[in-house]
């Protein structure tokens, strides 16, 4: 990746592999002075916007995407709305006069090159696991001079996950299939699988991989969860069970079929704690209370012939 050194403040670029956590390279003999932390940030990723909010740094956010506004409504006021990482246009981004741009894979390499050529710092994230997400939180916090607060956020998340793990430890392990997309059918990311395990479940598919309705039928999970990217809580549960031929699944027979709001599971940020509680309520409703962002299937009607739809 092309790296450009800024004229006044030490340049920052990110070396990213599509399976690695974010890593930082500083160009210069000394570390970035704390008085020279970025003050005009463009976020192309909802998770980065949520992290900035938790850090108490939304006052530095000058532009973000409409998806950021979906998970963090307050950013829609008095800020430029730009395209997301994949559709990002460098001219649009640079018009906000940022000193830091935060994005996540996949992103437009051409736009990134143009941003770096302009001397703007670029931070690219590629989390897969909870450990990666913790690194991303502390990375963003460190870059903007709030390292201690970043560490506090991570520790708080870890404490809450371990508390739920302790409460679920003696409960029966339930087999869970959780999907992040319906067509093609894609299992949720590794960090979701980790949360499922923490609340007393067993993830029955390869996290983040494409699968088939037939594979899920063969696994016969006890709980089905859909959290489709960009769908909020509007997944048509009855339709997917019927059209995929899943009405005979153990999960369907016991109405253990749920939708969890997209932002609670697919935003790799502190919002995952809301997803943790929703997963706990879905997998062990006898132990954990129902929470915001969780919907249960209302009816499992007799199957119609499987379609080629969802």
Residue pLDDT tens, the chain, 310 long: 222 222 222 334 433 333 334 434 333 323 444 557 999 999 999 999 999 999 999 999 999 999 999 899 999 888 999 988 778 788 889 999 999 999 988 777 888 888 888 889 999 999 999 999 999 999 999 999 999 999 999 999 999 999 999 999 999 999 999 999 999 999 999 999 999 999 999 999 999 999 999 999 999 999 999 999 988 889 999 999 999 999 999 999 999 999 999 999 999 999 999 999 999 999 999 999 999 999 999 876 655 444 333 3
Tokens 């909020």, located at residue:
232
Phi, psi of 222 (to 5 degrees): -80, -25
Q: How far apart are CA 213 and CA 299, in angstroms?
A: 19
From residue 184, give the alpha-carbon distance in Å to each of 210, 211, 226, 241, 285: 7, 8, 13, 15, 29
DSSP label at 172? P
Q: What is the dihedral of CA 258, 261, 146, 88, to 10 degrees?
A: 130
CATH number of 170-296: 3.40.50.1980
Tally of CA atoms within 13 A in the half-sphere of 288 that contains its CB: 24
Answer CATH for 12-145 from 3.90.1150.10, 3.40.50.720, 3.40.50.1980, 3.40.50.200: 3.40.50.1980
* Residues carrying CATH 3.40.50.1980, the chain: 12-145, 170-296
Tally of CA atoms within 13 A in the half-sphere of 267 that contains its CB: 29
């Amino acid at each position: 990746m092309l790296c450009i050194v800024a004229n006044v403040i030490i340049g920052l670029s990110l070396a990213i592999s599509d399976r690695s956590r974010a890593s930082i390279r500083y160009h210069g003999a000394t570390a970035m002075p704390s008085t020279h932390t970025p003050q005009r940030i463009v976020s192309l990723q909802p998770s980065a916007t949520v992290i900035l909010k938790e850090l108490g740094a939304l006052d530095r956010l000058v532009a973000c995407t409409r998806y950021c506004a979906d998970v963090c409504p307050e950013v829609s006021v008095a800020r430029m709305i730009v395209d997301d990482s994949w559709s990002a246009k460098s001219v649009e981004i640079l018009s906000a006069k940022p000193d830091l741009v935060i994005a996540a894979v996949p992103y437009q390499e051409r736009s990134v090159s143009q941003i770096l050529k302009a001397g703007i710092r670029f931070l690219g994230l590629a989390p897969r696991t909870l450990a990666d997400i913790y690194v991303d939180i502390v990375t963003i916090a460190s870059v903007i001079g709030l390292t201690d607060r970043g560490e506090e956020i991570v520790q708080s998340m870890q404490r809450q996950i371990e508390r739920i793990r302790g409460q679920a430890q003696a409960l029966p392990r339930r087999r869970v299939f959780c999907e992040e997309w319906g067509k093609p059918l894609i299992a949720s990311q590794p960090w979701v699988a980790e949360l499922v395990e923490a609340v007393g479940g067993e993830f029955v598919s390869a996290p983040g991989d494409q699968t088939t309705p037939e594979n899920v039928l063969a696994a016969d999970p006890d709980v089905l969860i859909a959290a489709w990217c960009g769908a909020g809580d509007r997944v048509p549960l009855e339709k997917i069970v019927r059209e995929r031929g899943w009405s005979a699944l153990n999960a369907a027979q016991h109405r253990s079929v749920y939708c969890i709001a997209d932002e609670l599971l697919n935003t790799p940020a502190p919002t995952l704690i809301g997803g943790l509680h929703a997963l706990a309520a879905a997998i062990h409703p006898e132990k954990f209370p129902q929470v915001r962002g969780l919907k249960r299937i209302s009816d499992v009607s007799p199957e119609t012939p499987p379609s080629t739809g969802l």
